[in-house]
Chains A and B, each alone.
Chain A
Amino acid sequence: MADHGKVMFFLGAAVILAFGWVVFPYVIYKPVNQPIQFSHFTHTSDNVGLKCENCHTFDKDGRFDGIPKIEKCRSCHLKPLGISGDEEKLERNYINPGLEIPWVIYSKQPQNVFFSHATHVKLAGIDCQTCHFGQAYTRSLRPAYFSRISGYSIDIFGKDLLDFPSTPSSGMRMADCSSCHHRQGVKESCIDCHK
């Protein structure tokens, strides 16, 4: 009887441990696909030869425009340039009716924080690839994962499930920013990032 009880105890523990470490990470985050499978590779390869800054521009006042508007796409894709279904979808659903593409943002910061691309690219002279390594050569867009509870993206708070706020991880939390700043010897203050 005693052995039977031990088995049940450890069975319960094992099942929940397996659920917690294997299944839970898939349950807590909700994948959201992009409306169009955009290929950075097609645009940056030798055939087209675009650079990052051709589409991801800075405004006159130095502010980063981020994702290009549909007008930017229209300037080249007024007529089909290829044969992919996603290009057809682009023209049918967005360019022709003049609607903006509802891109899903991977790394939308909490409302009390802002990240300045202008400061990092223009002032510090950091190359896009330093942070967005390999992004320019992707052939499709991965799904964005959002927490089912907080609604924040996994790209912000990181993939680490045991989330200690003071240690840097793979996301874009304060500890991640501070860690990089410290490594680079760059001073920081609260109002650099917090609104």
Chain B
Amino acid sequence: MAKGITRRDLLKLIGGSAVGLMLTPIPWKVLDETAKWSQNWSWTPVPRNGKVNFKHTTCYLCPMSCGARVRCVEDQPVSLMGIPNHPISGGGLCAIGLGGHLLPYHPSRLLQPHRVARENGRIKIVPISREESLSAVTEAILSSKQGSIAILDGQPKRAISFAYRKFLAGLTNGVYIVPPIDAGVPAELTLRVLGERNLSIGFDMENTRTILSFGAPVLDGWGTLGQFSKIVRNRTGNNKLKVIQVESIHSRTAQLADQWVPVKPGTEAAFALAIANVLINEKLCDAQKLRTHSTDFDNGSGHSFLDLAEKFSPASVAERSGISEDKIVGIARELVSQPGADASPARKKPSLVAFGGATFSRDEQIIFMDLNILLGAIGTKGGLIPRTELPDPIGGRLTEETPLTDVPDHSVRVLILDGAESGTLFPWQMLEQKFVPNSPVVVSLSPYFSGIALHADYLIPSPSYLESCNDSPTPAGAPTASYSISTPILPAPKTVVEPLDVIRRISAATHSNSGNEIQPLKELFKNRIEKIFKQRRGFVFDASTGETVKLTTIYSSGQLMKILSDGGCWYDKEFGVRSSEFGVLYSFLGRDNHGFEKLLAAADHHLGDSGLVLLPYAANVGQSHQLMTKVYRESNLREPGNEASINPETANKLELIDGGSAVVKTGNGISKVKVKFDRGIMPGAIQVAVGPIVTGYAETGEQNILEVCKISNDSTWRITKAEIFPA
């Protein structure tokens, strides 16, 4: 019997040690400590230690103008929060607003101008100097013999917006384009229905009894945060605000609403006319008054609104919309009912019709507006309220605002994309079809290489959020006017360029006759604040004290400027025009000669029961912003952009597997998606969220779902016939 230690004994010793090791804290503690060590690598950006202080500013990441309290360590912002009692945001901030201090360090941030080269479907960005970039844009403008020079401004009515309009007015072919707005009534719609071009209308949802919403995400961050929190608060108690959501998509608002009306895709306008039909036939609206106050409600021509509504009886619409006749009639009665028989006129609240403006065609929007007129919601507290406009910061000749849908196709030679986020989503094709066929030039002033900037030829980045001075005019859907200023907290890198400097430089080089008159941005703010001060109306919220005072107690425009520069806000509480002052004749069919036929076609429009339809959806920019990748990746707060929800019955017929890969094909292209079974989706529909492309800009070959949507003649893009098959 050998006594020495053998090789086998050593191996057993090692084996025993290995087993024993697993039963000690050594491997687990070393692993844990190594993970913590990896947080502290030298290149990890770390806010320095120092004195904590707070500054106030206004968020301009979308047009909603929320007040932001910035927690800084020395001069470095380390967190953002809402400002308590802020009149617009009510103390809240959205997810992107809360993380706004990180945006200057986002991987998509651009720190100097670039030229974009596209080769074999791949995008390559080449750094160029500031001078090179400005010279290239100037040359493109000077050489454009045909086609227009356009600026797309994501947030119109700002001081810089007026500078753009002034600059474009100096060109012979300048066009100032505003994108579709989602939370509000577009000016062109106001003109066509109310005959007033310069009337801004907001939704007074805080004082409404029932909201009939056509696809508007009223319970999912629509309008300002202050409005939203009041809506949520008003949805409790006996006389609570009711929400009826008419939408094919099983959206979050549909889930939270008192009633979800899942109409078949494309039948919303027909449904609205069926409601109008019931209101008229059951004498639930004041027809006599409407005859007096309109030219085309009932003019005996056989082509009036009454005749249009007659064509859409609840019985006929029930079949095409998939909503029963009883339900349509019930909803119409619900809209005009008042709780309690003793509801005095003073306590009566109107119902209003809200609509996600960016996704419906102009004619469909007119029909929704008509419903508001029938419900007596125009110019009434709790309805659609006209508000006062802010004074212009610049005098002289300005280019008119042109809605994107009104820009002629194949007309734009040079397009400058302002970096401000409009808050409204639309497919790139809506812009692309406006370009001249040969070599259009697209210039992005966005601080980021994301979103529509991915389609630009030149990138001239502007300062990022918190680095730039900006002003925030009244949010689109707000019922009263407001104004605030965003003061920079961080210094901007010297290599980025202020949009105003771009305009002034191009203006000087192109000898535009307005360029030299454009004042610096702070002068424009000052001009506007002086005019607001002279009006002597409204209230001023001081963020440093949290108090609100009447404007009349402010002793100078300089003091007002100081308060606004420190995160304060001026706001109006009075409505701009009383309903009795309106004095307008309603145009139920729109102010053109073919209104009846157009509206009839819009309401008759439906895709039928054959085939699949693609329903892209996204509530607003806070939920679908390309820079929100962290929220999408780590929290499942929102559906990612490449996830297709489909009814299991439909999916089984198409041999799709839950969780499997698939390809969505439309007339515009294909998009790879991941299939998710959801019984909440109506059969025959594919619902895909418009989320960010989480793989980053290096993978832009992968299409966003909006890019395969088909743009209809009426600029509608929300419904597209599609196929889906396993990948």
Contact = CB atoms under 8 A, between A and B. Distances in A.
Interface of A: 1, 4-6, 8-17, 19-21, 24-25, 28, 61, 63, 110-112, 147, 149-152, 157, 161-163, 191, 194-195
Contact of A12 (B15, B23, B40, B53): B15
B37 A11 contact: no
Interface string B488-527: 0000000000000000000000000000000000000000
A28 B29 contact: yes
B20 A61 contact: no
Contacts of B698: none
Interface in B181-221: none
A157 B23 CA distance: 21
Nearest to B10: A8
B21 interface: yes
B346 interface: no
B26 A14 contact: no
A63 B51 contact: yes
A16 B21 contact: yes
Interface in B1-47: 1-2, 5, 8-10, 12-21, 23-26, 28-30, 32-34, 36-37, 39-40, 46-47
A162 B29 CA distance: 7
B81 interface: yes
A152 B52 contact: no
Nearest to B53: A61
Contacts of A157: 36
A12 B37 contact: no
A163 B79 contact: no
Contacts of B24: 16-17, 19-21, 24
Contacts of A20: 20-21, 23-26
Interface of B: 1-2, 5, 8-10, 12-21, 23-26, 28-30, 32-34, 36-37, 39-40, 46-47, 51-53, 78-79, 81, 98
Nearest first, the 9 A-B pairs at minimum CB distance are A20-B24, A12-B16, A13-B20, A161-B25, A150-B36, A9-B16, A149-B33, A12-B17, A16-B20
Q: Specify the main secondary structure of chain B where it touches its partner.
A: helix
A110 B17 contact: no
B79 A149 contact: no
Contacts of B33: 28, 147, 149-150
Contact of B25 (A1, A21, A111, A152): A21
A14 B109 CA distance: 56
Contacts of A112: 39
B9 A4 contact: yes
Contacts of A150: 33-34, 36-37, 39-40
A13 B26 contact: no
Contacts of B47: 111, 195
Given A19-B24, A25-B25, A150-B33, 8 more contacts: A8-B9, A13-B17, A17-B23, A28-B30, A61-B53, A150-B34, A150-B36, A163-B28
Contacts of A9: 12-13, 15-16, 19
B21 A11 contact: no
B26 A24 contact: yes
Nearest to B76: A195
Nearest to A17: B20
Given A5-B8, A63-B52, A163-B32, A24 B25 contact: yes
A154 B518 CA distance: 61
Nearest to A156: B36
Nearest to B14: A12
A10 to B, nearest CB: 6
A47 to B, nearest CB: 35
Contacts of A28: 29-30, 33
Contacts of B78: 195
Contacts of A15: 17, 20
B264 to A, nearest CB: 42
Nearest to A6: B12
Contacts of B23: 13, 17, 20
Contacts of B25: 20-21, 24-25, 161-163
A191 B98 contact: yes
A71 B24 CA distance: 48
Nearest to A21: B24
Contact of B28 (A25, A151, A162): A162
Contacts of A162: 25, 28-29
B29 A12 contact: no
Contacts of A11: 13, 16
A195 B19 CA distance: 42
B663 to A, nearest CB: 38
6 contacts: A1-B1, A17-B20, A61-B52, A61-B53, A63-B52, A149-B37
Contacts of A110: 36, 39
A163 B29 contact: yes
Contacts of B98: 191
B35 to A, nearest CB: 8
A191 B79 contact: yes
Most chain A CB within a 10 A radius of its CB, from B5, B21, B51, B53: B21
Contact of B13 (A8, A24, A61, A161): A8
B102 to A, nearest CB: 10
Contacts of B19: 9, 13
A112 to B, nearest CB: 8
Most chain B CB within a 10 A radius of its CB, from A4, A21, A24: A4
Contacts of B15: 9, 12
A24 B26 CA distance: 7
Nearest to B46: A111
A15 to B, nearest CB: 7
B99 to A, nearest CB: 10
Contacts of B46: 111
